[in-house]
């Protein structure tokens, strides 16, 4: 699937009607917030593997969300820098001038970030994990007619990961871009095998949409495609 999408993107961005946006290239970018929402049914399924996650120091933090956030952010930074050309500043860039969430990620509104920051752009990241129908805003959903919702039995899930990247300018609260990427599990998850955590809690990375981390990575890939063709 990724190869096919890459071919489509190559056609689109070489067309006279489409061009790769250069506005983010070599520009310093700061994160202002990173929100993760997990559907209760999906969270319940993942919670059965709680013992595979390391404890966190902050008593107000969920160790599963903590690990997802850490790994997803690392993957997203790599993609935005390599594929889009952004210069992503450390999440500690604002220092003590702003507040941080329970996972030590920035939690500041765009107006304040612009007043105290010096970046050319600011990012707000929203990551959703759940059984919802794949969003029609993503690149993949517009070009893959095989995606469809299936009925699930009790205890089964077929998760969808949706990533939304909202970009703000150095001045003004109106976003200059909002890019959505999504990925859906290739099969229904019904076993109690912790293999769905491969790549998240270990180094056994996969790309077949059978693990949570592979879904996150694919959603990131999908979102960066949207950034290049919009």
Categorize the per-residue pLDDT at 47 as very low, low, confident or very high, splitting at 50, 70 and 90. very high
The DSSP line for 33-83 is EEEEEE-HHHHHHHHTTGGGS---S-TTS-HHHHHHHHHHHHHHHHHIIII
Query: Packing angle between helix 40-47 and helix 63-79, nearest 10 degrees?
Result: 100
Q: Tell me: the pLDDT tens digits for 127-163?
A: 999 985 545 555 555 555 444 555 777 778 999 999 9
In whole angstroms, give the CA distance from residue 138 to residue 83: 17
pLDDT of 19 strictly over 90: no
Give 105 or 143, the one with higher predicted confidence: 105
- Sequence-distant (6+) residues with CB within 8 A of 6 are none
SS3 content of the chain, % helix, strand, coil (to 5): 35, 20, 45
Tell me the mean pLDDT in the region 32-36: 99
Q: Are 125 and 163 in contact (CB under 8 A)?
A: yes
Cβ-based burial of 173 (10 A; exposed 0-12, middle 13-18, buried ≥19): exposed
Residues linked to residue 182 through DSSP beta bridges, in sequence order: 162
pLDDT of 134: 45
Cα–Cα distance, 40 to 62 (Å, whole number): 14
Q: What does the angle CA 56 – CA 101 – CA 209 come to, to the nearest 5 degrees?
A: 70
- Looking at residue 22, what is its pLDDT? 83
pLDDT of residue 192: 78
CATH code, 2-229: 3.40.50.10610
Cα–Cα dist 174/172, whole Å: 6
Please check whether residue 114 is in contact with residue 98, taking contact to mean a CB–CB distance below 8 angstroms: no
């Amino acid at each position: 699937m990724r190869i096919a999408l890459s071919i489509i993107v190559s056609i689109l961005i070489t067309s006279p009607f489409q061009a790769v946006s250069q506005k983010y290239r070599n520009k310093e970018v700061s994160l202002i917030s990173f929100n993760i929402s997990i559907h209760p049914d999906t969270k319940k399924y993942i919670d059965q593997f709680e013992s595979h996650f390391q404890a966190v120091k902050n008593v107000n933090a969920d160790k599963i969300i903590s690990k997802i956030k850490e790994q997803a952010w690392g993957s997203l930074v790599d993609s935005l820098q390599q594929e889009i050309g952004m210069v992503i500043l450390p999440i500690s860039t604002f220092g003590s001038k702003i507040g941080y969430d329970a996972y030590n990620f920035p939690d500041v509104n765009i107006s304040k970030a612009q007043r105290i920051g010096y970046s050319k752009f600011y990012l707000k990241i929203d990551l959703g994990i759940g059984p919802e129908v794949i969003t029609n805003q993503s690149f993949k959903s517009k070009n893959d007619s095989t995606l469809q919702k299936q009925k699930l039995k009790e205890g089964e899930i077929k998760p969808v990961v949706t990533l939304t990247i909202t970009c703000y300018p150095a001045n003004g609260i109106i976003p200059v871009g909002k890019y959505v990427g999504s990925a859906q599990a290739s099969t229904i998850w019904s076993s109690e095998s912790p293999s769905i955590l491969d790549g998240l809690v270990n180094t056994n990375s996969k790309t077949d949409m059978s693990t949570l981390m592979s879904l996150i990575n694919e959603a990131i890939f999908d979102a960066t495609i949207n950034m290049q063709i919009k």
